Structure 1
């Protein structure tokens, strides 16, 4: 990878990104065919945050946050900073001072394939952060990386300008060109879930709501009485 900073990459529509954030990770993940999920290792520094924004990407060396400093300048309102390292690292590359600078620029949060620190301060200031570790281990600023290039987190490739949705369930990425279609699919899924929720509140069972009852025999499932089971007939 060249040591480059790519300026002005195209971004998904900010309103679309915000709307996807409102639906949340699970719904968006399902709506785009169960793709784009960055895996269970990315966890929020504090619970309750939910965001949707456009990705600014940074590729750093382990234990070195030089390129996060470089990336801050490329961030604008509605963005989410997404950071990867070129080999595994749990060091605390990001903390409250970075969050202060990003919040001033209107950035909605940060996703780190490495460590975060100053968790109490991040929670107090309400700045959302997802990471693979929490670590007080400090960093250096010594090695060049890249900004706004494709990076990989959790087996998923994130391009600058893609939509990043994050909440208590983790993080999911929506390709920039798919954002409008995934938003429509998310809306349809949410409406379907609301219909199902209404049915469950009325006492209906998932076996019937999801049309599974008539398929049980095909799975080899039998209903037997207790007496039949106790006698060993089944």
Structure 2
């Protein structure tokens, strides 16, 4: 049996736009490296990115019947996040399904499994994130379920969560903590932009023969001092 539960509410446009100004690395740092899917889940072609609200799909290993149904119930603003059970004997989708998902307005597909038709997927440009490729096709017998809590790439995903995918991988932000995560990520972004300006200025002055004395970040000496104090404390304990 397959079951299509209610489609979750889309996240506000303001949230999506703020997320688009951030990267998966900034979001991961803001969540202390939680919410990050398995490193093998990557875009099928360079340059693919997705920022959207999660519609979740739970499939039987090697079977994509429910994924077909999910695609045709999808629409603009949603990304399908699919628990493919890390199955490696069959591809879950290829050119036709990705083309259909693109046509109905979906923002992308993230799948814990394999896909096929790499050349066509790259040409299409529709964001697909997967663990790799195989020419072997899937079964179409079911069962499956849409819009229930799943695990994808080792991360729990709820319908309506924020999904961000780029060259580095995919991160999941629970809808309940989005504001908290954004505040930390935007602060980190401001810091990184400041550091980039400092490095650029250091490089410019070095080329002019008038380098700054150092571009060490301010936190480095503090970390080194803390490590020294910890080492001394451990030595006293040992002796």
Deviation of the 1:211 alpha carbon = 2.5
How far, CA to CA, are the matches of 1:8 and 1:80 in structure 2? 12
Change in Cα spacing, 1:38 to 1:195, as seen in structure 2 (3 Å) is same
Give the conservation status (yes or no) of the 8 Å contact 1:12–1:177: no
Q: How does 1:14-33 map to 2 (within 5 A)?
A: 14-33=13-32
SS at match of 2:187: helix
1:212 aligns with 2:220: yes
Offset from partner CA, 1:108-146 (integer Å, 9 cap, x none): 111010111111111111111111121111012112110
Change in Cα spacing, 1:217 to 1:9, as seen in structure 2 (3 Å) is closer
How far, CA to CA, are the matches of 2:93 and 2:159 in structure 1? 19
How far, CA to CA, are the matches of 1:89 and 1:129 in structure 2? 17
Residue of structure 2 equivalent to 1:59? 58
- Of Structure 1 and Structure 2, which has the larger fraction of its residues in helix? 2
Residue of structure 1 equivalent to 2:93? 94
Give the conservation status (yes or no) of the 8 Å contact 1:20–1:186: no
Unaligned runs of 5+ in 1: 222-234
Q: How does 1:1-234 map to 2 (within 5 A)?
A: 3-86=2-85, 88-203=87-202, 208-220=216-228
Change in Cα spacing, 1:175 to 1:215, as seen in structure 2 (3 Å) is closer
Unaligned runs of 5+ in 2: 203-211, 230-239
Give the conservation status (yes or no) of the 8 Å contact 2:55–2:147: yes
TM-score normalized by the length of structure 1: 0.85
Deviation of the 1:214 alpha carbon = 4.8
Deviation of the 1:185 alpha carbon = 2.7
Aligned residue-pair number: 220
Q: Moved runs in structure 1, 4+ residues, more than 4 A?
A: 204-207
How far, CA to CA, are the matches of 1:68 and 1:214 in structure 2? 51
How far, CA to CA, are the matches of 1:51 and 1:205 in structure 2? 41
Instruction: Kindly report the root-mean-square deviation, in angstroms, between the aligned alpha carbons of the 2 structures.
Output: 2.3
How far, CA to CA, are the matches of 2:125 and 2:224 in structure 1? 48
